[in-house]
Amino acid sequence: MLESENNLLEIRDLSVEYKTRRGVAKGVDAISLNVPENKTLGVAGESGCGKSTLGRAIMRLVAYPGRIISGDIIFNIEEDIVTSNATIKRGQVNLLKLNEKEMRAIRGKEISYIFQDPMTSLNPMATVGTHFIEIMKAHDPTIEDEKAIDRAKKILIGLGINPERVTDYPHQFSGGMRQRVMIGLALALKPKLLIADEPTTSLDVIVEAQILEEIAALKDKFNLTMILITHNLGVLAQTADNIAIMYTSRVVELSPTLDLFEKPLHPYAQALLQSVPDVTHPEKQLAWIPGAPPDLVNPLPGCMYHPRCPHAMDICTQIVPPLVEVEPGRLVACHLYLEG
Ligand SMILES: Nc1ncnc2c1ncn2[C@@H]1O[C@H](COP(=O)(O)OP(=O)(O)OP(=O)(O)O)[C@@H](O)[C@H]1O
Ligand SMILES: [Mg+2]
């Protein structure tokens, strides 16, 4: 799993369950992956495949009625964290073993999250400056308002927003600017890892392109490691170093971005890429994937993609293929690539 690199985050065998009236659905099913430091991991796949559940599990913020049922999330902490409520020594820490107070010291400071729906994350009654003050005070109650506002202004400048607008309220900003403010808030405490969950879905394509460019630039400016969740593969082509393709709560392919776009290995990744328009070859027919993903409450045996897969074999209906390295640096969960 890209073992040779310096990993900021290592996820081992992570599973999340949602208990619903219809039964138990696995939102994340035995996922293992690494996120190397200062790299961007893109996470893509159809709606409902578990992208947000994976992102939120890393923050231990799985939405009700979800629950992390097993796994390890190993995060590398560079410097000792000491707050009024928690002390965490530097080194590798299993986030799933921390108590809630310790986890609160990690959220925002070490790992920050930009949620899928930014509109509901800003308080309409509070100025942008107040948002920054609250986030910074939650982590360090001794910080003075003035210092927090100074930091807010610096961040806003970096995001192309007039710093004097710290006194404005969220409704006084356009959608794109509000999303920039959300990104700024996520960066307020200088996190090491930023998880961005569909950060541009609610925006028009031009603003989306601008914001994605800015996110990519911020990564270098702030020395960030990123997990960028999106169903838009075009976006990942420009921003991600590696891409995890998810299908029905599992990772089916994990490859460097260039390799994936040049030659996707998993049949689902192949189908997904054929459904992305290619501006350099507009004559190419766009494909769609026949069928729909199976119901997670009644999971299929074997590889869950088998009813939609043009290469399905008997074994695919019986045995779940493990995610294994089939070419240097490329991991695939598909019987086509497994010996025997
Ligand atoms: N609050 C919930 N209650 C019950 N089941 C849920 C809940 N949230 C998610 N799930 C289950 O977990 C699966 C994964 O959901 P998740 O939100 O992680 O998908 P996603 O890939 O982020 O989708 P989208 O692209 O639509 O945001 C869903 O298919 C659903 O079965
Ligand atoms: Mg989602």
For 44-100, write each residue's pLDDT tens digit: 999 999 999 999 999 999 989 999 999 999 999 999 999 888 999 999 999 999 999
Ligand 1 atom nearest residue 293's Cα: 29
Nearest residue (CA) to ligand 1, atom 10:
27
Characterise 96 by phi-psi region: left (phi > 0), alpha (psi -120 to 50), beta (else).
alpha
So what's the pLDDT on residue 194? 95
CA angle 238, 240, 241 (to 5 degrees): 120
pLDDT, tens digit (0-9, with 9 covering 90-100), for 276-300: 776 676 676 666 787 888 889 999 9
CA distance 114 to 270: 29
Closest-approaching ligand to the CA atom of 50 = 1
User: Per-residue pLDDT for 159 more than 60?
Assistant: yes
Nearest residue (CA) to ligand 1, atom 7:
18
Ligand 1 atom nearest residue 198's Cα: 27
Provide residues with CB under 6 Å of ligand 1.
18, 20, 25, 27, 47-53, 63, 65, 231, 296
Torsion angles phi and psi, residue 232, rounded to 5: -95, 100
Least confident piece of the model among 65-79, 141-155, 194-208, 315-329: 194-208
Pairing of strands 225-229, 40-44: parallel
Residue 194 corresponds to which amino acid?
L
The DSSP bridge partners found for residue 107 are: 111
Torsion angles phi and psi, residue 108, rounded to 5: 85, -45
Nearest residue (CA) to ligand 1, atom 17:
52
Residues with CB under 5 A from ligand 2 (ion): 51-52
Give me the CATH topology for the region 7-110+191-337: Rossmann fold (3.40.50)
pLDDT-based confidence at 2, cuts 50/70/90? very low
So what's the pLDDT on residue 340? 58
Structure tokens of 226? 């990123």
Torsion angles phi and psi, residue 268, rounded to 5: -70, -40
pLDDT, tens digit (0-9, with 9 covering 90-100), for 187-225: 999 999 999 998 877 777 777 877 877 887 888 888 899
271, containing H or E segment: helix 267-274
So what's the pLDDT on residue 215? 80
List Cα–Cα distances, 252 to 138, 156, 197, 244, 311, in angstroms.
Answer: 38, 38, 19, 8, 15
pLDDT, tens digit (0-9, with 9 covering 90-100), for 94-140: 999 999 999 999 999 999 998 866 667 889 999 999 999 999 998 88
Ligand 1 atom nearest residue 50's Cα: 18
Query: Is the omega angle on the peptide bond into residue 301 within 30 degrees of 0, that is, cis?
Result: no
Q: Reduce the DSSP state of residue 260 to 3 states and report it.
A: helix
Domain boundaries, the chain: 7-110+191-337
Average pLDDT over residues 259-276: 93
Q: Are 112 and 139 in contact (CB under 8 A)?
A: no
The overall average pLDDT reported for the chain is 91
User: Per-residue pLDDT for 3 more than 60?
Assistant: no
Percent of all residues in the chain with a pLDDT value above 70, rounded to a whole number: 94
Q: How far is the CA of 291 from the centre of ligand 1 (A)?
A: 19
Structure tokens of 215? 């996110």
